[in-house]
Amino acid sequence: MKQAFFLFLSCCSLFASAATDRVISLYQQREYQMACLEGARIVRDNKYDEPFVNAFGLSCLESDFIDFAGTAGIFLRSNPASRQNASYFLTVMLQKKLLHQALADNVDLGDTHLPETPHILSKVFNAYAAGEYTKNSVGVMTIKLENGRHATLDSFRDAGHIKIRIRQYENDTMTSEHLYW
């Protein structure tokens, strides 16, 4: 009976290792959405595998699954790089939540100061909180970014929920769109 239990544990360990290695590999191949979604299924069982959790969190940020990135941030703590990523993930998640609250409930963010990260949501959040935007007649806000680029920010109702839309532009050509709830 002990041998069967040991064999079972060994198989589970091998499966976990293969699954976490796959997420890391997907991240390295820039298959961010797949890495995030696969990582979300196994993160709780592998929360102490920090290379995996870091790859999972970074993949989730890249694929705009901000709340999953926040989950990764909860588990990272064993070294300075992991703690830095944890702060990054949780900062972007908090910025998303505050921006949603501001747009949905007309909450003033003027006194809110959070670090700016490289993520587009972070750049838009900080500009919005500082009032550094112009607003057109239909409520779409335009935010200037570096190198002549800009982003627009608006909110809309979809299936009873208010969603945030950020569009990035370069030379007046939309280069990406991000949707958050």
Question: Which CATH number characterizes residue 9's domain?
Answer: 1.25.40
- Are 67 and 125 in a shared domain? no
**Which residues does 152 contact at the CB level (< 8 Å), separation at least 6?**
140, 141, 142, 143, 165, 166, 167, 169
Boundaries of domain holding 46:
1-76
- Are 97 and 172 in a shared domain? yes
Average pLDDT of the chain to the nearest whole number:
89
Q: Which of 23, 48, 76 is the last residue of a domain?
A: 76
- Are 72 and 151 in a shared domain? no
Q: What is the pLDDT of residue 12?
A: 36
pLDDT reading at 162 higher than 70 = yes
Residue 106 belongs to some domain of the structure: yes
pLDDT reading at 6 higher than 90 = no
Residue 170 belongs to some domain of the structure: yes
Q: What's the CA gap between 93 and 65, in Å, rounded? A: 9
* pLDDT tens digit sequence for 126-156: 999 999 999 999 989 999 998 889 999 999 9
Q: Which of 36, 52, 76 is the last residue of a domain?
A: 76
Residue 18 pLDDT level (bands cut at 50, 70, 90)? confident
Residue 39 belongs to some domain of the structure: yes
- Are 62 and 14 in a shared domain? yes
Q: What's the CA gap between 144 and 138, in Å, rounded? A: 18
Helix (H) or strand (E) holding 17: helix 2-28
Residue 82 belongs to some domain of the structure: no
- Are 96 and 180 in a shared domain? yes
* pLDDT tens digit sequence for 66-113: 999 999 999 999 999 999 999 999 999 999 999 999 999 999 998 898
Reading across the β-sheet that carries 134-135, which strands appear in turn?
134-135, 141-144, 150-158, 161-170, 173-180
- Are 29 and 105 in a shared domain? no
Residue 173 belongs to some domain of the structure: yes
- Are 148 and 98 in a shared domain? yes
- Are 107 and 175 in a shared domain? yes
Residue 41 belongs to some domain of the structure: yes
Residue 5 belongs to some domain of the structure: yes
Q: What is the pLDDT of residue 17?
A: 78
> Domain tally for the chain?
2
Around 86, how many Cα atoms within 13 Å sit in the side-chain half-sphere? 15
Q: Which of 45, 76, 107 is the last residue of a domain?
A: 76
Residue 86 belongs to some domain of the structure: no
**β-bridge pairing 141-144 and 161-170:** unpaired
Task: Kindly report which listed range (9-18, 51-60, 139-148, 162-171) carries the lowest average pLDDT score.
Answer: 9-18
Average pLDDT over residues 52-77: 96
